[in-house]
Structure 1
Amino acid sequence: MPSVKTVALVLFWAPGLGTSAASHIAKYNSDSLNGLLADSIQLTEQDIGDFSAIAFGDRAEAAATVSQREQHQRCRVFPGDDLWPWTEEWTRFNNSLDGALLRPTPAGAVCYPAHPAYDAAQCQFLLRDARSTRFWLDDSLTELAQWTQGSTCLATNETQAQGKNCTRGGFPEYVVNATTAKHVQIAVNFARNKGIRLVVKNTGHDFGGRSVGAGSLSIWLHHMKETQRLPSFSPGNYTGTAARFGTGVEAWEVSNFTAAHGGITVVAPGGNTVGGVGGWVGGGGHSVVTSTLGLGADQVLSLGVVTADGRYVTADPFTNPDLFFALRGGGGATYGIIISAVYKVHPPITLTTTSLSLTLSSASSPSIPATGAVVVRNADAFWTGVGLYYRFCGRVVEGSGGQGFSYIYPQADGGFRFTTTSTFLNRSRDEVSRIMQPLYTSLRQAGVLTAADADPTTRNSSIYGASRRGGTGDQPVNTRYRSRLLPRANWEDDARWTATMAAIRAATEAGYDENFYFHATLTSPTREVAGWPGADNAVNPAWRENLMHAMLMDVQPDNFTGQQARARDARMQRYTSLLRDVSPGAGAYINEADPGEPEWQQAFFGSNYARLLEVKRAWDPWQLFWAPTTVGSEGWAVEAVDGYPNSQNGRLCRSA
């Protein structure tokens, strides 16, 4: 028997729902069934028949014994291995999925003259127009961070592509376009039983490498879009209206749902195309209303989940409570795959925003300031203004339940541009002006604003979730997050605050030469605002003490070699350490953090780690669900072939 197999199976491409699935959903919407259709279509023993490759697992047996294959299998089965499924087995697997199995070509292949998929016109579309469409979001392979895949098949101009190869790199080998729980169950069982690496992908908004993996089978949840309003839902201490969403629903679709129901409030991501269930909830999930209503993970009342044994289960405060605890904040792609979620529904909320912009520019070579920006000529005065805003805003988000949102960008003349938006909930324009006035007074007293500078204006108010949003945009980038959750203790002590601002300034000023910038959101998601059952979930305890989610947005060149990437990473670790040093014992937000974070168990999960590890071992004794820096992932590592730090372009193998 040869050791290398050629898979010649032709699999169809389905960018949307199949006809039968779409008609089922239409029936569900019109008939107002009790649950989502995707949850109700589940795998049965009759479906499995004699196809043992998709049979259910036994958690109790797996926890007590280790199979002979697992004892000797150092790595997950990889294409070309003797144990890699044959063509006939992939065909049967596809048939069990009713044709939902895909083997797509990386989208960027159209830009490489040496690749069979080369198409100059399509390449120009990717380079010029795709960013204003749904193309990248609706691509089954694309993760929006290029470096995690290994940057092996970038959409690039023909000149740069000449003489280069487009390879699959860290992209999955096969993709299951899942639209039902049954599809997810079959894929979970097949990957577990065949020893293949499994990854889970929704929208592709992942900057930690959790949605890609060389030689893997990917479960793509993107088309599980059902929504349902529950007029009365009363589990435990919650009584009122609720909303049920399929796991593929994005933030813009949540907003359209709430707008269609009179502007009710459901907490959702700020980015339009970020998934509103799945990994966002798994990491905690912050938003503009976090300081008043809590994190995304605090909103969940019930979950429909496929676990590592292939079973569909309900997780809520009374059914599988340990799983319910872990899935809300304990890290995505770890304990099970969420099929649907029931969320709290809140009354309509008014948002009122105001902005402030400062531009540091030299008199000899001035930058052109943004419209309405205050120009500051002295660096110390500029950073004094930044510090006054951050300290003021940190106190305001606690007292007024709002959010501060800011960037500090390097400018061409060696200066910086500081932009902020402050958002307040259920406050009138006059109230917001009164709240912000002490800040403007302080800026004038410090000489940052002059008598000639007008107070920043307060924008018109709007109802959160009452307007319809669009879902276009987004494209792959080479941005890498480095972040820290800075606690309120840093605001309460003058010496700690001085050290905090010194660290922010030093790290940000390094960005002028290193091509990165500073981004911060200020929120206060305490246990009190989390409510029930949010106060008892796996959210990183550092979030409950947080006032600023501070980020260094590292934009890496596309043409970096592995050696250059490693050198870059070492430098960025030094800059991020400045933020760690002023927040000992705090942490970082796993969804917007560096997968190379040192001591990540404490940084991402804090005191919850030991409890989460017990849940992981109980529900996934096979260690099927693996992703970098998730609970229990220490036992495995990717043997990357490109030298990129934390790249997923390589075999997944047991650690030494």
Structure 2
Amino acid sequence: MKTTALVFVLVALRQTEAAATITAAAASTVTPKTGQDLFPYETVQLTESNLNPLNASLISLFGFDDVAGANITARNQPKCKTFPGDPLWPQEWVWSIFNVLLGGSLLKTVPIAAPCYSGPHYDLDRCTIVVNNWTDSALHELDPTSIMFPLYQGNTCPPTLTPTSECTLGGYPSYAVKATNTAQIQLAVNFARSTNIRLVVKNTGHDFSGKSGGAGALSVWTHNLKDIKYIPKYTDKASGWSGPAFKAGSGVIAKDIYAAANERGLTVIGGEGQTVGVMGGYIQGGGHSPLSSIYGIAADHVLAMEVVTADGRYVTASSSSNSDLFWALRGGGGATFGVVTSITIRAYPKISATVVSFSFISATMSTDTFWAGVRTYFDYFLDFADKGTYSYFFIYPFGIMQFIMQPFFAPNMNIAETQALLKPWFDRLAALGINISPVYSTHDNFYDAWIAGFPLETVGRNGQITGSRLFQRSAWEDPAQLNATFEAWASSARDSGALLINFNMAPKNFVGADNAVNPAWRNAVMHAIQGSNVNTSGTADEAKAVRSLVTDLQTKWIAVSPGAGAYLGESDPEEVNFQQSFWGSNYARLSEIKAAVDPKNVFWVRTGVKSEIMKVDSSDAIQDENGPLCYV
């Protein structure tokens, strides 16, 4: 380091140490416009006065932005986000200053499987743990930069006990901020904006498209924001809600908020996966739930959000404060409009439920009989969903065909009532010679039923490409259209070997919420996902052939569900016409709000709102996060 640079950094370090102290000391408990106290970590906020001890150069790096009146377009922005190796990429001493301001929470990315490769991180014991638990979502959830669908990272550092290549960052971010207070998030947003570095947000990494990754990016890791507060009575005049609520940090996962509600004899609306960050990207993307046929989409039940916006400011978004932002954050997609630190949601009375699991396989019958049995199920979708149930079922096409129901979830029903509901369908299966052995259990609360019924999700499949579709009620109201829908859906597995993951539900807008949730959800009775695997050891042409196959299969599904849509969180990262598929008629308003709150495109995610203006420049066979982000 040159002498002048060394003098500068020593002075800057002294300044930033003082500023970091001032930041913590100046923090005070603030009451947001929701009428509820902030969490302790939310009271540690960056303010203009905290920045005063810094010199002008440092303020330009870490200070706030003036979004109001900004007129920023792609034409007067740099062509690409600043990337490692670029002349403008911050030098190490700048990152050191950043780390001091953060209080030491800056992490230089080490890929989760790096212990498997020769070098400074080699650790055989740790590598063995990673290899043996690679498909366990908890392993990736607890890592600051790992994502659960590594195909979109580029598979540049896969877990292995016999490495034959080097481990590289690929689509992992370069650095991550382990956020434990709001000021750290504000500093990260300001630094990324002022240096034009790509900014990503990770909570757990569940998104099917790898949205929490990004080569050369700075990541904000929100997973440690786990506070939960029970509010006995929350009044929101705009929605007419006056009742119990929970305020939860954006790092709170499903099993934690469900347990907290259950301890109070209450129920909240969240996802089926145990480790899903329901207070993060899940609820911002809408969020379907085992209770969707009773209560609708999770985003419908949000009362307020605390969020750091692209200018670095910390604001409350609710029906009475920043209402446009509040509308967009409920269904408009995560890491698109800001970094959410907490969400306040409604809570409902305790609910009982019965869960049922069973399966049948083609090895014990003809293939035609197997598919005839599956087809009988489709005749009951409207009746089942309209009675409040939610089913999670699979078609495994590997070798033999398998139908697996895991589970059929029946809220407010006991075993006898659930058996009576299922009997007409089960009788038809028996008439076809399909024998099943359903296992029933009933529970007096949602939490116990959910734990008993839903398996821990398997993730980390290195080469899976998925796509999804919301199939509308109208198809079930027309026999010819229903047959065409079933044929298009079934052919993906029967003829093309695609895995099918499916949900029968009716998530209407039961509370009349006005938000950005895809309108296609309101008339859906099936959300279906299809996936095919890429051989990550194969050729680029083989990978492209699988990519093309999934596109073709998605085209067939779209053809039988014109004008419908798809679920953002469990989707195809190359979804055709994603603007309509993910948001329908809401896209125009979302685009306007995005332009107003983030004119410099600080936040970008693949297939997110206004993402069409930029693209990752990747040379990999499958479009992933392994490359610089540039304007189209």
Answer yes or no: same fold by TM over 0.5.
yes
Q: Does 1:648 align with 2:609?
A: no
Return the alpha-carbon distance in structure 2 between the equivalents of residues 422 and 174 of structure 1: 42
Deviations 1:270-297 (A, max 9, x none): 1110001111012111111111011111
Question: What's 1:598 paired with?
Answer: 576
**Are residue 507 (structure 1) and residue 492 (structure 2) matched?**
yes
Matched, 1:35 2:38: yes
Cα distance change of structure 1 residues 259 and 572 upon mapping to structure 2, 3 Å threshold: same
Q: 2:106 aligns with which of 86, 89, 101?
A: 101
In structure 2, the CA distance between the partners of 1:565 and 1:58, relative to structure 1 (3 Å rule), is: same
1:480 to 465, 481, 494: 465
Displacement of 1:473 after TM fit? 7.9
Question: Do structure 1's residue 578 and structure 2's residue 556 form an aligned pair?
Answer: yes
Task: Tell whether 2:423 aligns with 1:430.
Answer: no
Q: Secondary structure at the match of 2:383?
A: helix
Alignment of 1:245-284 (within 5 A): 245-262=248-265, 264-284=266-286
What does 1:198-217 correspond to in 2, within 5 Å?
A: 198-217=199-218
Aligned partner of residue 607 in structure 1, secondary structure = helix
Instruction: Give the drift of 1:564.
Output: 2.5
CA deviations on 1:335-372 (whole Å, 9 max, x unpaired) are 111110000000001111223422111xxxxxxxxxxx
How far 1:448 moved relative to its partner? 4.0
Q: Secondary structure at the match of 1:239?
A: strand
SS state at 1:147 partner: helix
Paired residues of 2:351 and 2:411 also in contact (CA < 8 A): yes
State the SS of the aligned residue for 2:360: strand
Q: How does 1:85-164 map to 2 (within 5 A)?
A: 85-113=90-118, 115-129=119-133, 134-158=138-162, 161-162=163-164, 164=165
Cα distance between partner residues in 2 of 1:297 and 1:641: 37
CA contact (8 A) 1:266 1:465 kept: no
Aligned residues: 597
**1:466 CA displacement:** 5.3
Cα deviation, 1:216-266, whole Å, max 9, x if unaligned, reads 10000010000000011001100001000000000111122123223x101
The secondary structure found in structure 2 opposite 1:205 is: coil
Cα pair distance change 1:456/1:472, threshold 3 Å: closer
Q: Which amino acid is the alignment partner of residue 527 of structure 2?
A: H
Q: Is 2:468–2:530's contact at 8 Å kept on the other side of the alignment?
A: yes
The match for 2:246 is 243
Is structure 2 residue 508 aligned with structure 1 residue 526?
yes
Name 2:19's counterpart in structure 1.
none
Q: Is 1:629 paired with 2:581? A: no
Equivalent AA in structure 1 for residue 480 of structure 2: A
Q: Which whole-Å CA distance do the structure 2 matches of 1:292 and 1:586 have between them?
A: 21
CA RMSD of aligned residues (A): 2.7
Q: 1:170-224: per-residue Cα shift (whole Å, max 9, x none)? A: 1101110011111111100000011111000001112112101111100000100
Match of 2:351 among 349, 352, 370: 349
**Retained in 2: the 8 A contact 1:333–1:627?**
yes
Give the secondary structure class of the aligned counterpart of 1:107. coil
| 2:460 partner amino acid | P
Alignment of 1:298-337 (within 5 A): 298-337=300-339
How many angstroms does 1:126 deviate by?
1.3
Unmatched 5+ stretches in structure 2: 11-22, 24-28, 31-35
Give yes or no for contact 1:411–1:417 (8 Å, CA) kept in 2. no
- CA-to-aligned-CA distance 1:542-597 (integer Å, 9 cap, x gap): 11110000111223333244433222100111122221111011110010000101
Q: Which amino acid aligns with 1:476?
A: G
Q: Taking every aligned residue pair, what percent have the same amino acid on both sides?
A: 37
Q: For 1:379 and 1:286, how far apart are their aligned partners in 2?
A: 32
Mapped contact 1:199–1:217 kept (Cα < 8 A): yes
Equivalent residue number for residue 405 of structure 1? 392
- Inter-partner Cα distance in structure 2 for 1:383 and 1:272: 31
Displacement after TM superposition at 1:111 (Å): 1.5
Paired with 1:627 and 1:65, the residues of 2 have a C-alpha distance of: 19
The partner residue of 1:541 within 519, 538, 554 is 519
> How big is the shift at 1:461?
3.1
Cα offset, 1:644, TM superposition: 1.8
Amino acid at match of 1:404: S
Indicate whether 1:458 and 2:436 are aligned: no
Whole-Å separation in 1 of the counterparts to 2:236 and 2:401:
54
Deviations 1:358-400 (A, max 9, x none): 2111xxxxxxxxxxxxx4x1222221211111221333111x1
Partner of 1:489: 474
Choose from 585, 593, 597 the match for 1:607.
585
TM-score, structure 1 as length reference = 0.86
> Is 1:384–2:361 an aligned residue pair?
no
Per-residue deviation, residues 441-481 of structure 1 (Å, max 9, x unmatched): 33344x244xxx47745333341025896999865222332
Secondary structure of the residue aligned to 1:244 is strand
Distance 1:457 1:378, change over 3 A: same
Structure 1 pair 426/234, CA: closer, same or farther in 2 (3 Å)? Answer: same
Aligned equivalents of 1:650, 1:317: Cα separation in 2? 39
Offset at 1:65?
Answer: 5.2
> Residues 130 and 417 of structure 1: is their aligned pair in 2 closer, same or farther, counting only changes over 3 Å?
closer
| TM-score in terms of structure 2 length | 0.89
Give the corresponding residue for 2:427.
441
How far apart are residue 102 of structure 1 and its match? 0.7
CA 106–93 in structure 1, closer or farther in 2 if over 3 Å, else same: same
